[in-house]
Amino acid sequence: MEEHIQVIKKMNIGKVQENVSLKNHTSYKVGGIASLFAYPTNAKALIKLLKYLKENNIKYKILGNGSNTLFSDQPYEGVIIKLDQFNSVHIEGNIIKVGAGYQLMKLAQQAARKGLAGLEFATGIPGTVGGAVYMNAGAYKSDMGYIVKRVKVLTPDYRVITMTNRELNFHYRSSFFQTHRQYICLEATLGLIKGDKEEISKVNTERRKRRVESQPLEYPSAGSVFRNPGNLYAGKLIEDIGLKGLTKGGAQISLKHANFVINLGNAKASDIKELIEFTKEAVKDQYDIDLKIEQEFVNWE
């Protein structure tokens, strides 16, 4: 891997960093050491990097804010690609064109200041635009699928194409990208609606207060662990079988919200994973409900 790192460093694709701890790039604050982090400056640089990685069979992962990802404690012997430089934003009327690396919460705040409604659900989602499109992130009965008009996408054969909302197959916490992992979101065009600035601000303030009261924001976590099954709430199912507060090593099922697993400060990735899997099995045994894990497990092979 070392010789490949030296080649990549000379490719002039943008900033690269060796031996980076994933603890500093994931919201759980766990994970091993990645051989290389790369920050391509544009699509051309990204394509150049991807071609080299694929031709040399080097493992890679596109990573947003790491807010929905659980890396193992083992070294990640490959390249983590960050699209932080894809951060342009252009707002014209009620249309927003924004790069995949732009922070979703920051965008939601900008939209609110301009009196644009439709992004209120995103004020508490600590991800990037690209990550949010990938996951079809949402809250309060809304999600990205409601507002994305089209997405600029890099295909596996290195073409940059535009895909429409219909083609992106948005459903509850899922999208085209989850079943076509070689496709990469580069930019999204969102369609919002004109609203009242004060009303939007009021909604955002109320939801921020509700989050603080109901979610363990003082601890590292990755938000809701499980998707809500149908009209039921995963957190209530977990709480009703007495798992609130269950601890494994430095990880705990939150006492504030049972659908959160938190890092009490010294958790290993394996503590978190074991707690998630135990909870999933316990709910299955009790209710015969197979909870779907929202978070992505990476480097557990």
Q: Rounded mean pLDDT of 168-186?
A: 95
pTM: 0.94
Could you say which of 3.40.190.10, 3.30.465.10, 3.40.720.10, 3.30.2130.10 is the CATH number of the domain covering 89-199?
Answer: 3.30.465.10
pLDDT category of residue 301 using cuts at 50, 70 and 90: confident
CA distance 158 to 225: 33
For residue 276, pLDDT beyond 90: yes
- SS3 of the chain: helix, strand, coil, percent, to 5: 35, 30, 40
CA angle 40-5-301, nearest 5°?
90
The two structure tokens encoding residue 257: 């919200």
pLDDT in tens, 25-68: 999 999 999 999 999 999 999 999 999 999 999 999 999 999 99
**C-alpha dihedral (163, 165, 168, 172), degrees to nearest 10:** 160
197-214 vs 104-113: helix axis angle to the nearest 10?
150
CATH number of 2-82: 3.30.43.10
Q: Does 216-298 carry CATH code 3.90.78.10?
A: yes
The kind and range of the H/E element at 237 are helix 234-240
Average pLDDT over residues 86-101: 97
Tell me whether residue 233 is exposed, middle or buried, using C-beta atoms within 10 angstroms of its C-beta: 0 to 12, 13 to 18, 19 or more.
middle
Given a cut of 90, whether residue 165 has pLDDT beyond it is: yes
Q: Provide the annotated active-site residues.
A: 173, 224, 294
Any long-range contacts for 215-219 (C-beta under 8 Å, 24+ apart)?
215/254, 215/256, 215/257, 215/260, 216/254, 216/255, 216/256, 216/257, 216/260, 216/262, 219/254, 219/262, 219/263, 219/264
In this structure, the chain runs to a length of 301
Domain boundaries, the chain: 2-82, 89-199, 216-298
Does residue 208 surpass a pLDDT of 90?
Answer: no
Q: Give the mean model confidence (pLDDT) for residues 131-146.
A: 94
**Chain mean pLDDT for the chain:** 96
